[in-house]
Amino acid sequence: MSQFDFTNSDVPVVLSIASSDSGAGSGIQADLKTFSVLDVFGTCALTAVTAQSPSEVYALHPLPPDVLLEQIQSVSDSFPISAAKAGLLPTAEIVETVAKAAESFGIPILVVDPRMITAKGVRMMEPEAVEALKTVLLPVSRVVTPNVHESEILAGFPIGSVEDLKKAASTISQKYDIACVCTGGALIESEIVDVLCDEGELTEFRHPRVEVPETHGAGCTYSAALTAYIAKGMLMTDAVQKSRELVSAALSHAWHVGSHTPLHLSVQ
């Protein structure tokens, strides 16, 4: 009898295509932590290396597209990928590489977290990359999870209310033929309001706002959780609900580390 326990041999495999965060609060570091607590096997392909802390991005260094492609291919050749998440894609060439790789390697579900602008307003994607995201990547993806600032760019109008957020989710979903979760944390509301539009149906999610000094990595954690839940076969509406609950709990249990308070994930 084997000494190994293979009871988890059918665990879903998920892929994070994202940047490295030296402060470990966002990017692939946040994604892999999230995948682990949600019992899926996480793999990764780096798009860029960043020098950052929870409070500031000091530098961003995109990797060559061929290096990214080699990473995705090596993972795809080795594991049956159930779903992938695309995070920070800083250049048009990187966006195009991800779109082609998803098709070439048969990645069945792609979740896009369009890291165009940080919560503090720092631009992370070149203008050409944003256009490539719109024209090349979103049309071949399953769901996109823009924050308020990113929703404004994708929808093409300002957002100042929940009604605007609903309109944006519907506009983005129809425009790019994709499910869209507009996350409303940046709205001035007493609650967190997220809006999902999937196949023409709008669903509103409301959660208590967690008052914390920092929310760095919340968006990455949210989209990574959504990827994991979808990979496990959860319906989109349930996956969105569970993802927000996980992020809220992580913010509620934030650790005090040095001068920062990063969110903390605990085993579900």
Which residues fall within 8 angstroms of residue 181, CB to CB, at 6 or more apart? Answer: 143, 144, 145, 146, 169, 194, 195, 196, 226, 240
Does residue 1 lie in a domain region? no
Residues in the chain: 268
Structural domains of the chain, count: 1
Does residue 260 lie in a domain region? no
Q: What is the three-class DSSP state of 110? A: strand
Q: Residue 223's pLDDT is what?
A: 98
Q: Which residues pair with 100 in a beta bridge?
A: none
Host domain of residue 117 = 13-252
Does residue 264 lie in a domain region? no
The pair of three-digit structure tokens given for residue 190, joined into one six-digit string: 């007493």
Does residue 44 lie in a domain region? yes
Of 56, 70, 136, 109, give the one whose Cα is nearest residue 236: 109
- Report which residue type is found at 221: T
User: What's the rounded Cα separation, in Å, for the pair 16 and 221?
Assistant: 11
We report the CATH number of the domain holding residue 214 as 3.40.1190.20
Does residue 141 lie in a domain region? yes
Does residue 164 lie in a domain region? yes
Print pLDDT tens along the chain (268 aa): 456 565 556 899 999 999 999 998 999 999 999 999 999 999 999 999 999 988 889 999 999 999 999 999 999 999 999 999 999 999 999 999 999 999 999 999 999 999 997 766 678 999 999 999 999 999 999 999 999 999 999 999 999 999 999 999 999 999 999 999 999 988 888 899 999 999 999 999 999 999 888 888 899 999 999 999 999 999 999 999 999 999 999 999 999 899 888 999 976 5
- Positive or negative torsion for Cα 90, 95, 97, 98: positive
Does residue 7 lie in a domain region? no
Place of tokens 């682990």: 36
Q: Please, are residues 31 and 91 in contact by the beta-carbon 8 Å criterion? A: no
Which residues fall within 8 angstroms of residue 246, CB to CB, at 6 or more apart? Answer: 34, 38, 221, 222, 225, 265, 268
Q: Residue 10's pLDDT is what?
A: 84
In angstroms, what CA-CA distances link 219 with 26, 105, 119, 144?
Answer: 8, 26, 9, 12
Model-level pTM?
0.94
- Positive or negative torsion for Cα 71, 72, 75, 76: negative
Of 102, 91, 27, give the one whose Cα is nearest residue 64: 91
Q: Residue 206's pLDDT is what?
A: 95
Q: What are phi and psi of 240, to 5 degrees?
A: -65, -45
Does residue 90 lie in a domain region? yes
